[in-house]
Amino acid sequence: MSNIVQQDILQQLKQLQKDAETALAHAKSAEATRNWYSEYLSRKGRLTGILRNLGSLSAAERPLVGKVANEVKAVLENALQERQAAIAQAELEAVRRAESIDVTLPGRPQNLGKLHITTRALRDIYAIFTAMGFQIYDSPEVETDEYNFQLLNMPPGHPARDMWDTFYTTTPGLLLRTHTSPGQIHAMREYAPEPIRVILPGKCYRYEQVTARSESMFYQVEGLAVGKHITFSDLKGVLINFANQMYGEGREARFRKSYFPFTEPSVEMDIACILCNGKGCPICKYTGWLEILGAGVVHPRVLEYGGYDPTEFSGFAFGMGPERMALQKYSIDDIRYFYTNDVRLLERV
Ligand SMILES: [Zn+2]
C-alpha cells in the first residue's frame, strides 16, 4: 500500500521538476525568478508541500523519497542560479546597446540661425558711427506731441505735420513717434551746453497704407552733432565717410536740396546704385541713384529748444532707414517680407 504512496510522491516530484523547469525557462526578469522561487522552492512552495506527505511513508521508504527530493531541489537551485545569471547578463547587454554611441556615424547638420537683416544693417551703422566718435542714445517710442512736432519746429497746424500722420494713444497729446528726431531734443536737453555727437536708433510708426515700399512700423537711425563751428562741410564729410564704409570706398554720392522743418538747409543724400553702378535698374527706378538718407544743418530754433544758443552753437542732423538700406543692398522688392518671418528670406540674404 505504502509503496503506491511512495510511487505517487516520486511521480509528483518528477512532475514538479518538469513544471518548474518549464516555468523557469519563461522567466525573463529578476522579479520573475523571485516569483518562481517562492512558488516552487520556498517554505510555502510546492516542493515543501509534497514533502509534507513524507509522514505517510514507512521509515524504509523515506530515504529514497528524501534523496530524490534533495536531487530535485539541487537541480532546480542550480537552474535558478544559471537563469539569474543569464538574465543579469541580458539586462547588462541591453543597457550597453541602448547607451552605445557609434562614433563612425556622420553627424546631423545643425541649422545655424542668423541675425535678421535689419539687425545686421543696424549693427553695421552703429559700428561705422561709433568709430567716428558718435554715441548711441536711446529715446522713447511713445512721445508727446511737443517732442515729436512742436520742439522740431512744427507747431500745431503746421502743414509739414501732414507728412507724418501717426497712431495716437487715448491720452491726449501722447503718440507713437513718427521719427527718431524727438530724440535730438532729449539728447540736447540732457547735454547742453556740452558738444554732442550721437546716433539715435529705434522704431518709428506711421499711420499710412502698408505697401511694398512702406510699413506702418519701421526703424530709423537719427544722427546729431552739436558744437561750435560745425558747418555743412562737416555734415558732408561724415556722411561721405559713412557711405564709403557702408557701401564700399569710392562710391559716388550726391546731395540734393530738400526740406525738413527742423533743418535749414536740408538735403537728401543719394549714392550711385549699388546694383547697376549707375546704369539704371528696377531697384533705382532707372535713375542710377539710390536715396539713402535725409540731412541738414540743425534749425536755429531747434537748437534753442534744445538749450543751445544758436548764435554760438551750430550742428547737423541726419536720418536714415536701415530697412530701406537692406532692401537695396539685398535687392529685396518688398519691405513687408521683413516682418512676415518667412525663413526663406532670411536664408537668402
Ligand atoms: Zn540701379
Q: pLDDT of 151-181, one tens digit each?
A: 999 999 888 888 888 888 999 989 999 999 9
213 has pLDDT over 80: no
CB 152 within 8 A of CB 181: yes
Residues 268 and 259: their CA atoms lie apart, in Å, by 9
- Interhelix angle for 232-247 vs 117-131, to 10°? 130
Please, which pLDDT band fits residue 2 given cuts at 50, 70 and 90?
Answer: low
Distance 329 CA to ligand 1 centre (A): 11
Among residues 272, 319, 322, 273, the alpha carbon closest in space to that of 296 is found at 319
Please, which pLDDT band fits residue 131 given cuts at 50, 70 and 90?
Answer: very high
108 or 187, greater pLDDT: 187
Q: What is the pLDDT of residue 148?
A: 92
Whole-number CA gyration radius for the chain: 45
| Residue 87 β-bridge partners | none
Distance 328 CA to ligand 1 centre (A): 9
Distance 278 CA to ligand 1 centre (A): 6
Distance 294 CA to ligand 1 centre (A): 19
Percentage of the chain surpassing pLDDT 90?
55
CB 117 within 8 A of CB 330: yes
Compute the average pLDDT of residues 247-256.
Answer: 91
Q: What is the pLDDT of residue 19?
A: 92
Strand-pair category, 196-205 with 174-176: unpaired
Distance 336 CA to ligand 1 centre (A): 21
Distance 282 CA to ligand 1 centre (A): 6
Distance 323 CA to ligand 1 centre (A): 17
Among residues 210, 235, 201, the alpha carbon closest in space to that of 325 is found at 201
Distance 272 CA to ligand 1 centre (A): 8
Residues 31 and 41: their CA atoms lie apart, in Å, by 15
303 has pLDDT over 90: yes
Q: What is the per-residue pLDDT across 278-295, written as a single tens digit (0 to 9) for each?
A: 898 877 889 999 899 999
Distance 276 CA to ligand 1 centre (A): 4
pTM as predicted: 0.67
Distance 325 CA to ligand 1 centre (A): 13
Residues 64 and 262: their CA atoms lie apart, in Å, by 120
Among residues 65, 292, 57, 100, the alpha carbon closest in space to that of 284 is found at 292
Q: What is the pLDDT of residue 127?
A: 97
Residues 142 and 124: their CA atoms lie apart, in Å, by 26
Compute the average pLDDT of residues 315-321.
Answer: 96
Distance 275 CA to ligand 1 centre (A): 5
CB 298 within 8 A of CB 153: no
- pLDDT averaged over every residue in the chain: 90
Distance 284 CA to ligand 1 centre (A): 4
Distance 345 CA to ligand 1 centre (A): 21
One-character DSSP codes across 83-129: HHHHHHHHHHHHHHHHH---TTSPPPPP------HHHHHHHHHHHHH
Residues 299 and 310: their CA atoms lie apart, in Å, by 9
Compute the average pLDDT of residues 3-24.
Answer: 88
Among residues 313, 291, 292, 290, the alpha carbon closest in space to that of 302 is found at 313
Q: What is the pLDDT of residue 7?
A: 84
Distance 243 CA to ligand 1 centre (A): 16
